[in-house]
Structure 1
């Protein structure tokens, strides 16, 4: 496996840290981004020890594209693998979320990857090769109550990625959507709820129940982020368990994610069959 240059956003914790360390251990060069690289480096000393290069980047900022371009130019002028991993979750009732909270969710989870892509894609197009890994979620395919804005941002990321895969194929650039289920990271301890609190009518409903379930499962998640990172590396490089998976768009990670996706596919198929007669009844009569 030839050594590549990777750029990983949100490398300061969780899956981003695991992906960064996995790529570095495999001998790749990694530009690891974080909003506060000094703090991230102190919390994750192994990344620098393995040769990782910390880059300051806040994907919500308008200057993101320019910063990404500069980081790539200053570190060799090429980029082989881009991992859009930076993100967080805003959970609760839509009614309780302010416009600013909703905009921040989409600015990080959707517009952030777009800003980074606009900085990296010109380099990949020029070299006629590269891989874009957009880190979505099981919520990007199947939405739970209380996750409307988070799931909405990830659904949008997945739709964008589907289109992007076709747009970039002529340039030899691959798009891969990584879809983690529940992994033992700080994700469940770091989710954000609306500053306004919860409207009384939603207390005791599925929204409150889902938030309680998330909090209760924190620290007990069965998913191992190190193994998830290893599978991403293998699918990107076409090695190990990734052999023969080079042309696939989606990478579900975790038994919980796989089972959830299977149930959603079954439900979609049933819905489609039930609605077939209606769908075929709407053409203009000739």
Structure 2
């Protein structure tokens, strides 16, 4: 059965691919971009396949609600909200300003949160809906130079975990998408600070240089990732059996490896501290 998708950040990368894949599977798509002119190529492709384009800056709180309500009128309802819009500030944690911290969180956390709040009334009323929050493997495993970006994705994931429990009784599904390294423009479009202390953090400098070196050669195929996401949401295709059965969708072999390493690290910390953790309870009478 065809679904109606609302996808943010459709001007490039995953957003464009998600819109095109959903349309190719006969779903209806309402995709948002910040500026039609700057996103002309993506807009043209999406509209050529029958998608609708709306302008939205997810940092504009009133617009998140008004654009969602406008989108609701197009097909009479929306089945799937995909929070894909995002950006990254990379560098030494010591160097970021309050303004940069706010900008990072505003797009990656507050933006999705606003749209979720806009979507929930109609989803609850219909007793149906899917919320897809596009996170990152950085939301599970924070690398050097990625502290601020990882913080925004950790926040998104923590909220999503609780949200999934909040809305389960209303037949609303939540899916956290965890891409590893994919061949999008991510490594060519991130923001850096003034790098004042990069020399004092060799590992930060090393990671940033590594990112520049591998840009454009990542193993992950965005089109295949978009296809898997649409399949999980729609319950069709090779990943369709996962619909409603998983909270997290890791994508990419590198993502799987980092997940496994993080799980082992958590298990190691738990075993080392188990007796200490238990020592903090009140003594039984």
Question: Which residue is 2:251 aligned to?
Answer: 253
Answering whether residue 228 of structure 2 is matched by residue 231 of structure 1, we say yes
Question: Which residue is 2:270 aligned to?
Answer: 272
Of 124-133 and 64-73, more deviation after overlay is shown by 64-73
Q: State whether residues 199 and 205 of structure 2, in contact with CA within 8 Å, keep that contact through their aligned partners in structure 1.
A: no
Q: How does 1:124-203 map to 2 (within 5 A)?
A: 124-194=123-193, 196-199=194-197, 201-202=199-200
RMSD (Å), alpha carbons = 1.3
Q: Distance in 2 between matches of 1:123 and 1:29?
A: 17
Poorly superposed stretches of 4+, deviation over 4 Å: none
Q: How does 1:1-286 map to 2 (within 5 A)?
A: 2-194=1-193, 196-199=194-197, 201-202=199-200, 205-246=202-243, 247-286=245-284
Distance change (3 Å), C-alpha of 1:200 and 1:224:
closer
Q: Distance in 2 between matches of 1:100 and 1:252?
A: 31
Q: Distance in 1 between matches of 2:22 and 2:268?
A: 41
Shift in Å, 1:24: 0.6
Q: State whether residues 5 and 79 of structure 2, in contact with CA within 8 Å, keep that contact through their aligned partners in structure 1.
A: yes
Question: Structure 2 length normalisation: TM-score?
Answer: 0.96
In the alignment, structure 2 segments of 5+ residues that lack a partner are none
Q: State whether residues 41 and 54 of structure 1, in contact with CA within 8 Å, keep that contact through their aligned partners in structure 2.
A: no
Question: Structure 1 length normalisation: TM-score?
Answer: 0.96
1:59 is paired with a residue whose SS is: coil
Q: Distance in 2 between matches of 1:221 and 1:118?
A: 34
Distance change (3 Å), C-alpha of 1:91 and 1:230:
same
Shift in Å, 1:93: 1.2
